[in-house]
Amino acid sequence: MDRLRKMFALVADDNGATTSAARIQQHILGSGIQLDDFRLRTTMERLRFLGESPISFEAFVALVSDELMMVNRTFNRELVIPDWQEFCHDIELVFNRIADDCSGNNANYIPILRDADPNKWGVALCSVDGQRLEIGDVDTYHSIQSVSKPITYAFAIEQEGTDFVHQFVGVEPSGRPFNSLELLPDSRPFNPCVNAGAIMTAGVVASSRTEQSAREITEEIMKLWAALSGDLAPVRFSEETMLSERDTADNNFAIAYLLKGGRGLPRGVDLHKMLDLYLSCCSIEMTASLLSVAAATLANGGVCPITGQQALSTEAVKKSLSVMQAAGMYDNAGVFTLEVGLPAKSGVSGAVLTVVPNLMGFATFSPRLDSYGNSVRGVEFCRQLVELFTFHIYDSLSGGRSGCKRDPRASQHNRKQRDLSDLRWAVSHGDRYALKVRDLLLECMIAITLADGEIEEPEIIIMAETYTEIMGHQPQQGELQAMAESRQSEIEAGGSSGPFEQLLQRLSLEQVQLDDNVRELILEAAFRVACADGIIEPEEDHQLRGIANALGISEGVLELEIARFQRQHPSRGAAATD
Ligand code: GLU
């Protein structure tokens, strides 16, 4: 069928002859792309013009012809995260889990932060293809505080050049609190993410703009923020924050004088102007939604995914991300890099901006802070995310053994398909490894079938179906029944360790040789059998967990799988496991 016909079929009404604006919009939204996306502007304008009237195939072709490439990618889910809906469900699960955590306290050095609603909790995500998800309080404006620092640094690099900037600011992690007065042995601040470095960076920027006031320069930096966040909503300035920051800036003044008395300030810039610029950058107000798009722009090398505009040069982005990686999370940056392994920057307002290079950016907002000044929920969100997904920069080192963490990237999806077809082909030719996989797959399915001691006809049917789907050919006649019966008689015969325990031992031994895709296949096969009657019985749940554990698959990944099952069978409500 012609590609256009296939696209039309994806949105056609039951009669197959027409579609509607609502159906088309719904299908686009399902991909994660928003209806105001610049790449679909013409199509959307035409759709609005058509209103509610039925759209024939010919009208559809005329509608999408100008933006065919983007419509095609969106319709056929050929975006960087193809299965966007599933990904969103997983993220919601993490979001909800963390919502209960009320530990930590608001920053209390200025009233506007002290009095902010501590219960606010929002997560916004944007992929490098412009797919967006927003949950909770993503539209609450808050000062960006230290989140401003890596962007002011990038601005400085672009305006003044890297060499000049680094004559005044270092790039070493400090390991000290953000407001520490300590400097490098050569009297430069450690890096642009601690106050001393950010104040000096502001000084570098201010030093060449003698005609402009600190506020005017801030407005230019706000324009950069607006470009980074795709002009989604206004980037604001909080006078109240600025006034309070000035009132409580003694420590920052101390740092500024120390810098002035040490190496001196760039081009003899006025100390007050330098501090005013630093404090005004902290007083810029944005939302998690805006920050997530800015994070995605960084993930995309400086090109904003929702406008296509190059907001920052890739070189400046690379440097900014490197500094974030080394020092973005205050004096907990080392632990954060170890556990999360992503460039991120937090601010004392409760914002965290995180970048997954080449995939997406996200921002969280929750004002309660830990002892380092990082948002408790924000950090926990990052931690849980990398427990479930292969987002840690070094997850790519896993040699295909990450504990079956999810990888929503399109590239991984394609790799899985390729591996599966290789496996099928290899089984048919007697490859030893492939046969072992087949064997383990069968044993696990049978173990789940026998979880309740019975061999039921529907279970044998599901097993055969699953086997056929995964292996690409049907099992031999009566093979499954015979294997199941043989295991059943072993169980009845008793013995010190039953067949299930033996299977777990075998899985634990063999798993070192199995890559993630194969482990996932085995778990998936067992899982499908467990779900055969639409409900996961407690005994089946227990065995599934045993199999997952023996395969080295984390509890969290299994939870995602179970949640997915529950979503696909809403009529069953919760599984019998609760
Ligand atoms: N505005 C704060 C200060 O200079 C810094 C805020 C932050 O670390 O997020 O003390």
Q: Check which CATH number belongs to the domain holding 349 and give it.
A: 3.40.710.10
Model pLDDT, residue 246: 97
Q: How far is the CA of 194 from the centre of ligand 1 (A)?
A: 9
Tens of pLDDT along 501-514? 889 999 999 888 88
Question: Is residue 429 included in any domain, yes or no?
Answer: yes
Residue scoring higher pLDDT (578 or 248): 248
| Main-chain dihedrals φ then ψ at residue 529, nearest 5 degrees | -70, -40
574, pLDDT greater than 60: no
Assigned domain for 157 exists: yes
**Same domain for 367 and 462?**
no
**Domain shared by 570 and 447, yes or no:** yes
Q: What residues line ligand 1, using a CB cutoff of 6 Å?
A: 145-146, 178-179, 195, 245, 252, 282, 347-348, 373
CA distances from 19 to 1, 25, 68 (A): 18, 11, 17
Q: Which atom of ligand 1 is nearest to the CA of 347?
A: 9
Question: Side by side, which strands form the sheet with 351-356?
Answer: 132-136, 122-127, 360-365, 351-356, 344-346
> What pLDDT was estimated at residue 495?
61
Within this chain, do residues 376 and 500 fall inside the same structural domain, yes or no?
A: no
Closest among 412, 408, 407, 376 to 390, alpha carbons compared: 407
126 inside domain: yes
Which of the listed residues 14, 40, 75 is the one where a domain comes to its end? 75
For 33-43, how does the pLDDT look when each residue is reduced to its tens digit (9 = 90+)? 999 999 999 99
Quick: pLDDT tens for 149-180. Answer: 999 999 999 999 999 999 999 999 999 999 99
pLDDT classification of 1: cutoffs 50, 70, 90: low
- Are 217 and 127 in a shared domain? yes
From ligand 1's centre to the CA of 508, what distance in Å? 49
For the CA of 252, the nearest atom of ligand 1: 4
Q: Which atom of ligand 1 is closest in space to residue 373's alpha carbon?
A: 8
Contact 553/472 with Cβ under 8 angstroms?
A: no
Q: In this structure, is residue 527 part of a structural domain?
A: yes
Protein residue closest via CA to atom 8 of ligand 1: 146
Q: Are 103 and 173 part of one and the same domain? A: yes
pLDDT of amino acid 455 = 86
Ligand 1 centre distance from Cα of residue 381 (Å): 22
Convert the pLDDT of each residue in 261-299 to its tens digit.
999 999 999 999 999 999 999 999 999 999 999 999 999
- Euclidean distance between CA atoms 409 and 391, whole angstroms: 10
Question: Once rounded to an integer, what is the mean pLDDT over residues 489-502?
Answer: 77
CA gap 494, 484 in Å, rounded: 16
For a mutational test of ligand 1's pocket, the pick from 109, 179, 353, i.e. the residue with the most ligand atoms closer than 8 A to its C-beta, is 179
Pairwise CA distance, residues 321 & 299, whole Å: 9
Same domain membership, residue 246 and residue 216: yes
Q: In ligand 1, which atom is closest to the CA atom of 198?
A: 4
pLDDT digits (tens, 9 = 90+) for 511-535: 888 888 889 889 999 998 888 888 8
DSSP 403-435: SS-B---HHHHHHHHHHHHHHHHHHHTT-HHHH
Only one residue has tokens 């080192």, namely: 397
Both 285 and 143 in one domain: the answer is: yes
| Count of structural domains, the chain | 3
Q: Looking at the domain assignment, is residue 89 inside a domain?
A: no
Query: Average of pLDDT values for 68-94?
Result: 95
Among 439, 443, 456, smallest CA distance to 532 is for 456
Report the separation in Å between the CA atom of 181 and the middle of ligand 1, taken as the mean of its atom positions.
Answer: 14
User: 127-139 b/e with 16+ CB inside 10 Å = b?
Assistant: bbbbbbbbbbbbe
**Which residue type, as a one-letter code, is found at position 237?**
F
Out of 75, 106, 137, pick the residue that ends a domain. 75
**Within this chain, do residues 450 and 563 fall inside the same structural domain, yes or no?**
yes
**Does residue 191 carry a pLDDT above 90?**
yes
User: Mean of the per-residue pLDDT values for the chain?
Assistant: 93
238 close to 283: Cβ distance less than 8 angstroms: yes
Query: If you measure from the C-alpha of residue 182 to the centroid of ligand 1, how many angstroms do you get, rounded to a whole number?
Result: 16
> Which structural domain, as residue segments, surrounds residue 291?
96-389
Same domain, 462 and 503: yes
330 and 194 belong to one structural domain: yes
What is the arithmetic mean of pLDDT over 558-567? 86
In a domain, residue 83? The reply is no
Find the 479 Cα to ligand 1 centroid distance in Å. 68
Confidence check: pLDDT of 389 > 50 = yes
Does residue 360 share a domain with residue 256? yes
Asked if residue 90 is part of any domain, the answer here is no
Confidence of residue 573 (pLDDT cuts 50, 70, 90): very low
**Residue with CA at minimum distance from ligand 1 atom 2:** 145
Q: How far is the CA of 145 from the centre of ligand 1 (A)?
A: 6
Distance from the alpha carbon of residue 122 to the mean position of ligand 1, in angstroms:
21
d(CA 352, CA 383): 12
Q: If pLDDT is split at 50, 70 and 90, which confidence band does 497 have?
A: low
Both 8 and 140 in one domain: the answer is no
